Amino acid sequence: MADLSTLARPYAKAAFDYANEHGVVNAWEDFLFIASTIVSDKSFHTMLDNPAVSAEHKSAALTDLYDTQVAGDGESAFKQLLSATKGSSDSSSSPKVSAALSNFVNQLAEQERLALLPEVYEHYRRHKAISLKQLDAYVTTAYPLTVAQREQIQTRLSTSLNASVVIHETVDPSLLAGATIKVGDKIIDDSVRGKLKQLKTQLTA
């Protein structure tokens, strides 16, 4: 049997093609992110595996949860999670699930593919990145970046890679100073720890 990633690809492509054509790429991405989080929850996953629960009920449970927790007016953990993912403090309501998006979820449910949503979301993000020529850069530093440092890194990477670059930051004090940058399968290690390790290798060679 094909792996989950392979099974998810055609659904992700269909979703992105529709969303891109109709100008709702971000709205669909938001839903897929939250939906992938929901279906990964153990209790919800148990419900998906229950043959006594109809496909219609499963899809409705997913879209209703999004509408109430993310598209609703009140604060919720899902809104905060979505804001954190976007790197923004804005937790305003998102649009409710559209008829087209609801139909997409229904199709997944009818084909018993709702559990694929995490993989669908990842492939969807790749389609979006390719469309926008956008790359994710994972920057790890010994200390939090200043605004100026972040802009400098982003500008240099965007210029060298000829693409829009999204910075994802983490702090690791063990680096001592400097930074490591990972873009795709390429890693740039400009940390003091990395340089010390390189020096040790040269001395013991």
pLDDT at res. 101: 96
pLDDT at 86 > cutoff 50: yes
140 and 193 share a domain? yes
70 and 156 belong to one structural domain: no
The CATH number linked to 138 is: 3.40.30
According to the model, what pLDDT value does residue 14 have? 95
Last-in-domain residue among 130, 164, 189 = 130
Together in a domain, 25 and 58: yes
Whether the pLDDT of residue 82 is over 80: the answer is yes
Structural domain ending residue among the three candidates 106, 130, 154: 130
**What is the number of structural domains in the chain?**
2
What pairs with residue 179 in β-bridges?
141
Residues 143 and 103 in one domain: no
Confidence tier at 91 by pLDDT (50, 70, 90): low
Q: Please tell me the distance from the alpha carbon of residue 65 to that of residue 47, in angstroms, as a whole number.
A: 14
The verdict on 116 and 183 lying in the same domain is: no
pLDDT single digits (tens) 113-171: 999 999 999 999 988 888 877 778 888 888 888 888 888 888 888 888 777 788 888 88
- Band (pLDDT 50/70/90 cuts) for residue 1 is very low
Q: Residue 198 is part of which domain span?
A: 133-204
- Report the chain's C-alpha Rg in angstroms: 21
The rounded distance, in Å, linking the Cα atoms of 136 and 139 is: 10
Mean pLDDT score, 32-53: 92
Q: Please tell me whether residues 158 and 123 are part of one structural domain.
A: no
Of 158, 196, 160, whose CA–CA distance to 177 is shortest?
196
Last residue of a domain, one of 110, 130, 150: 130
**Is the same domain home to 87 and 153?**
no
Determine the average pLDDT of the residues in 67-84. 86
pTM across the whole model:
0.65
The lowest-confidence range among 35-49, 53-67, 81-95, 152-166 is 81-95
The reply to whether 83 and 97 lie within a common domain is yes
Residue 24 has pLDDT above 90, yes or no: yes
DSSP string, 121-175: HHHHHHHHHHHHTEEEEEEEESSPPPHHHHHHHHHHHHHHHTSEEEEEEEE-GGG
Mean pLDDT taken over the chain: 85
Highest mean pLDDT among 84-98, 110-124, 135-149, 169-183: 110-124
Are 24 and 119 in a shared domain? yes
**Cβ contacts of 185 within 8 Å, gap of 6 or more:** none
| pLDDT of 32 higher than 90 | yes
- For residues 65 and 150, state if they share a domain: no
Same domain, 55 and 150: no
